[in-house]
Chains A and B, each alone.
Chain A
Amino acid sequence: MIQPLTEEKRFTLTQRPEGLIETQTLEVSIGPQHPSTHGVFRMDCVLDGETVVALKPVMGYLHRNHEQLAERMAWLGSMPYTDRLDYFNSMTNNWAYALAVEKLAGIKVPEHAEYVRVIMAELTRILNHSCVIGFMLQDLGAWGTPLLYAFREREKILDLFEAVSGSRMMCNYMRFGGVRVDMTEKDLAVARDIISRFPRFLDEFEKLLTTNEVLLARTQRVGILPKELAINASISGPMARASGVEYDIRKVDRYGVYGRIDFRVPVGDIGDVYDRYYIRVLEMRESIKILQQALRDIPAGPHVAPEVKLRNFKIPPGDGYGRVEAPKGELGFYLVSDEGGKQPYRYHVRPPSFINLTTLEDMCLGHKVADVVIILGSIDIVLGEVDR
């Protein structure tokens, strides 16, 4: 493992191996205002020429006191705030919180609602992965073309979200025991239509990108995350799977109705940026399969458990941890309920982006500045989640 430079070493001269030329390192701060840091995020890089010698990520520019806010509101009141955690995928955030509360309170969710939740979550996964690839390519320099193709598809899904839940991004859709409003037949038909067109878009997307020599040269063997490090640093999500860790919470926990749905989990071997990109493409294809099965098998039924109250909802004392496979990794909520039971006593979010970011330095050492940006893009962070 490469040791990061201590403070003293940062400003000393770097000696070349042959001892011939003595050069000076350059300390550069990438961000927080930067087109490619995916939000307000700063990286203090120490560069030797173009090579990264040390890198320190500095977060907290978007800290909004989410966890503290939840302690003063009722259980339902922090549901809209969870939308704004990973503001790109609001449905999975809602589901993770609802899952945690349901675990704590012992609420059972009707079948129909579970299927609706799975449909929404997988649609979110599709739109997240396609846009992440788009953003990564934007960082790579393809001036917006893959990004706008991805957004074109995202728009269709967002229109569906608006028709169902009322809002495109901040959906506030899941409730404890189900979902807020039901998906009508028309909405399901729209979802089927979107999914039937999506493979064609994916094929076009892949043709544009996957065998592009420039992309291959830029992303292969760059930012390798070894499997050991991934496990030790509790990396999760596509990043871990690209490094060879066979772990997908949908298969492990079998929450929702994932236990009944047949899908595979792609796993990479090397763990470089290209792997992470391609795993996401494969995951999108798997999500299409999941969606097709869910839309085919969805039963009729109530969309929310009838015994759950909206107001004055009390949970017996205890604590619990609920997690889902968010598109970015393992999103978990740790909730502690005390005697009063109307508000959480402690509310903690386990954000995947934050945990995945801790390995940024290890992945970037020895690479060039240009690679830092791409590696950051492939980790797929959203600052709302990192800073909460």
Chain B
Amino acid sequence: MRFDSRSWFPYNERAFEGDYCLETVYQQLRTWFANAPDAVLFWLSVIIPILFVLAVYPGIFAYTTLVERKALGRIQNRIGPNRVGRWGILQPIADGLKLLTKEDIVPRRADHIVHFLAPVIAVVPAILLFSVVPVGAGLVPVNLNIGILFAFAVSTASVLALFMGGWASRNKFSLLGAMRAVAQVVSYEVPMVLAAVAVVMVVGSLSTLRIAHAQSGGILNVTNWFVFRPWGFVGFVLFTIGAMAESARTPFDIPEAESEIIAGYHTEYSGFKFALFQMGEYLASIAMAGITVTMFLGAYNGPGSGPGWIGGLISMFWFFIKLGFMIALNIWIRGTWPRVRVDQLMGFAWKLLLPMSIVNIIAVGFWHYITIRPLAWIITTLWLVVWFGVLSRLAATEGVAPRTYRYAS
């Protein structure tokens, strides 16, 4: 697919004909309230996207916690929470209220300022991440032309929160947890970013809207999704693994490995600060899921999505469906796999994922420059498969294999 961005998208304007970009809320409001003062419309156009993000995504977070508990319960042959409201619908509200009314315990020798700021720094970057995720055709809270770069910069900022939490608690276990968390998050940034680079190379822009639009078209708006390309599939896997590690989800939930170091960096937190940590973690995972969807799963594209009101609504629907799928995948994996150990995690990141992501970038190069489509497919796929085999053999821990056993005589 040849893609020349310059002919299609002028800088910072509407993505395509007839879209309703939230950044152009100002212009839309102007058409509706032609006589209103400028300042009012300006501030409204700033506040509405913020309200949108603040209303929708924490709500998704709240119900993700419920869905996760019920889904884990069903996987484990039990019903999840179902006492608070029918099917447990009011459970997140109950949890929030409970955590709000809990006593806020701060260890006497803890560093109070850092202790206070750590949860805040955990949550804010996660919310900021949502501002570049397009939820519908042309609908993104902030249309940055450096969207992906912004996303990675902001997600890295949340690493600080882990370390601040662990340090400020003055607790050996927390410190252990914090050190492990930082090591993990930092190592998984690299293959994640490099996997995203592949997508950026193809699209030619860092803007999330353009990445989304690049995946439209094709049969039913589906076949152009990057996940259906060889390099896109590998990139998707790499990015998903990186995203799970970034937000400390199982199998990478070492920062809060309950069974070893109780709760890691948030051991000493209670009440709403703890809730904020949880919120930060879940929001980060939802946001990274959102970015994965944007970059690989076609963002809002699906049958029926397109410009206009109806198309816009349908595209929003598709986006949330895909987001739900990614969250469900996270929950499914959480319910199934045990945790990896911290040094194995590092080995995995540096020895397998990082080389694989570099190989992926080269594969994109092949894809771009081989003009005959079928040949491009074959060569790229072969390249990726061969390198995967080589790297996994090299990175494999020795002696790890199923065994057979003998019986005593």
Contacts and interface: CB of A to CB of B under 8 A. Distances in A.
Binding partners A and B: yes
Contacts, number: 127
Contact of A265 (B250, B259, B407): B407
Contacts of A140: 259, 338-339
A220 B399 CA distance: 8
A254 interface: no
A229 B173 CA distance: 32
A208 interface: yes
Contacts of A137: 338
Interface in B237-253: 250-251, 253
A188 interface: no
* Interface footprint category on A: 35 or more
Contacts of A165: none
B408 A246 contact: yes
Contacts of B409: 246
Interface string B169-202: 0001100100010000000000000000000000
Interface string A271-283: 0001100110010
B6 to A, nearest CB: 46
Chain B CB within 10 A, most for which of A215, A217, A267: A217
Contacts of A9: none
Contacts of B2: none
Nearest to A220: B400
Contact of B407 (A139, A144, A215, A266): A266
A141 B250 contact: yes
Given A214-B251, A216-B401, A278-B405, A371 B341 contact: yes
Contacts of B398: 221
Contacts of A278: 403, 405
A195 to B, nearest CB: 20
Interface string A34-70: 1110000000000000100000000000000000000
Interface residues of B, number: 42
A211 B404 CA distance: 12
Contacts of B259: 35-36, 138-141, 373
Contact of B340 (A217, A248, A265, A269): A217
B250 A143 contact: yes
B342 A208 contact: no
A48 B229 CA distance: 46
B297 to A, nearest CB: 25
Given A26-B172, A28-B173, A214-B251, A208 B77 contact: no
A34 B262 contact: yes
B405 A267 contact: yes
A359 to B, nearest CB: 21
Nearest to A209: B338
Contact of B342 (A215, A267, A269, A370): A370
B257 A370 contact: yes
A193 to B, nearest CB: 19
A189 interface: no
B340 A214 contact: yes
B137 interface: no
Given A264-B407, A282-B405, A370-B260, A221 B250 contact: no
Contacts of B262: 34-35
A141 B172 contact: no
Nearest to B254: A370
Interface stretch (A145-153, A307-315, A327-335): A145-153
Given A265-B408, A266-B408, A370-B341, 13 more contacts: A140-B339, A141-B253, A142-B337, A143-B72, A145-B336, A148-B77, A214-B339, A215-B338, A221-B400, A275-B403, A278-B403, A278-B405, A371-B341
